Copies of this chain bind each other. A is one copy, B any other.
Amino acid sequence: MKNSFGCSITVTLFGESHGAMIGAVVDGLAPGIKIKSEYIDKKLGQRRPSGIISTSRVEPDKYEIVSGVYNGYTTGTPLTVMIPNTNTKSSDYCELAERPRPSHADYTAGVKYGGFQDPRGGGHFSGRITAALVAVGAILSSALFDKGIKIGTHISTLGGIVDAPFSSYSDDIDSLSEKIFPVISDDSGAAMAEVIKDAAAVGDSVGGVLETVMIGIPAGVGEPWFDSVESQLSHIVFSVPGIKGVEFGAGFAIANMRGSEANDPLRVVDGQIVTTTNNSGGICGGITNGMPIIMRCAVKPTPSIFREQDTVDVAKMENATVTVKGRHDPAIIHRARAVVDAVCAIAVADMLTVRFGTDYLASGESK
């Protein structure tokens, strides 16, 4: 599947950072989903670099939906979103094909594609491609919202600063959705911003951990074994550049618990079956139990830093150095939030469509 994901709803990505455009095709969307352009713009805005803690390359992200929408609603046939590249400075990147940047895809892409890949700006490996994911995710998450499903992500830790925990999932998700720097505690956010600025001041970068909550997903979704909810979510989350770890519920911490502590007791509350703890993160045996799905992912520090780094000259097969030019973020984690929200919406929408059929996400409005 390579650049495609999903069974009933399939997303295919294309484009290079400095090519004509980047974009995505979404197949299998229910007909009749309303396209809310302000919401798409808002989510794109959350991914877009802004202010001191982001790159000076600011793309307008003027997306166009060139197929699959008619009179403001999805048609049910493939929806294609395109975002033209307008602000490219290719000369910044010319030498990177020969002298790959450490911990970038420069070297691995060179081996895989034999040198034919587009090296400009990271080409197809650029984080810029995630803008298309965000646009697609926005369409799906607004359709999920109409089904009572909400997805939200905050920076749970960054540089030793820990954000406040969720107090009310629903309210906190609403609140996060209005923030460019997604933290529950604005004090924590301010402290994190300082960490980023400190790193930027010395030409360095930072990573962090994102925590995502998905509420309203009914019990009984997902599959045993290979298509467990964890498998499907981790599959798409690990597609996002820079993610090096994914955990659900108590995650790695569960490894140090005893069973009596880790197990989530079941109770009847208000006529609903719930668990009183959620170490399982809403998933047992690969299948949702109706509790919030809790996921965290580790985002590595931006590999493009403004320091001379050791590398090799691939053609000459000798040691060399590289100094990254161009425009780069000292942190991308706040921007990655929009991407993680988006890919979770894609995976959840797909699972629900497999389970309940291809009309599931339809708005219920009739034509």
Interface string of A249-260 (1 = CB under 8 A from B): 111111111111
A27 CA / B236 CA spacing, docked (Å): 17
The answer to the question of A357 belonging to the interface, with a C-beta cut-off of 8 Å to chain B, is yes
A76 and B357 contact, CB distance less than 8 A:
no
State the number of copies, please.
4
The answer to the question of A181 belonging to the interface, with a C-beta cut-off of 8 Å to chain B, is no
The answer to the question of A16 belonging to the interface, with a C-beta cut-off of 8 Å to chain B, is yes
The answer to the question of A286 belonging to the interface, with a C-beta cut-off of 8 Å to chain B, is yes
A263 CA / B265 CA spacing, docked (Å): 43
B76 and A2 contact, CB distance less than 8 A:
no
A34 CB, min distance to chain B CBs, angstroms: 10
A287 and B112 contact, CB distance less than 8 A:
yes
A223 and B2 contact, CB distance less than 8 A:
yes
The answer to the question of A94 belonging to the interface, with a C-beta cut-off of 8 Å to chain B, is no
Contacts of A252 in B (CB 8 A): 209, 244-245, 247, 252, 298
Chain A contact-residue range equals: 35 or more
Set B1, B25, B243, B319: member contacting A230, Cβ < 8 A: B243
Set B5, B78, B113, B259: member contacting A76, Cβ < 8 A: B113
The answer to the question of A56 belonging to the interface, with a C-beta cut-off of 8 Å to chain B, is no
The answer to the question of A305 belonging to the interface, with a C-beta cut-off of 8 Å to chain B, is yes
A105 CA / B77 CA spacing, docked (Å): 13
- Selecting from A40-48, A63-71, A138-146, the interface stretch reads A63-71
Scoring A76, A109, A224, A261 by chain B CB atoms within 10 A of each residue's CB, the highest score goes to: A224
A319 CA / B222 CA spacing, docked (Å): 26
Set B73, B102, B123, B275: member contacting A116, Cβ < 8 A: B73
Given known A67-B15, A356-B357, contact A284–B225 (CB-CB < 8 A): no
Interface string of A72-103 (1 = CB under 8 A from B): 01111111101000000000000000001011
Contacts of A302 in B (CB 8 A): 259
Contacts of A80 in B (CB 8 A): 14-15, 23
A14 CA / B362 CA spacing, docked (Å): 20
B10 and A2 contact, CB distance less than 8 A:
yes
A103 and B21 contact, CB distance less than 8 A:
no
A158 CA / B248 CA spacing, docked (Å): 19
A76 and B20 contact, CB distance less than 8 A:
no
> A8-B8, A21-B66, A209-B255 known; 11 other A-B pairs, CB under 8 Å?
A3-B223, A76-B113, A77-B124, A107-B284, A108-B285, A108-B289, A124-B224, A205-B259, A207-B255, A245-B247, A355-B357
Which 8 pairs of residues, A with B, have the shortest CB-CB distance? Answer: A105-B285, A115-B367, A245-B247, A205-B259, A265-B310, A111-B220, A357-B357, A31-B116
A309 CA / B68 CA spacing, docked (Å): 30
Scoring A64, A124, A238, A301 by chain B CB atoms within 10 A of each residue's CB, the highest score goes to: A238
Contacts of A3 in B (CB 8 A): 25, 27, 77-78, 223-227
The answer to the question of A175 belonging to the interface, with a C-beta cut-off of 8 Å to chain B, is no
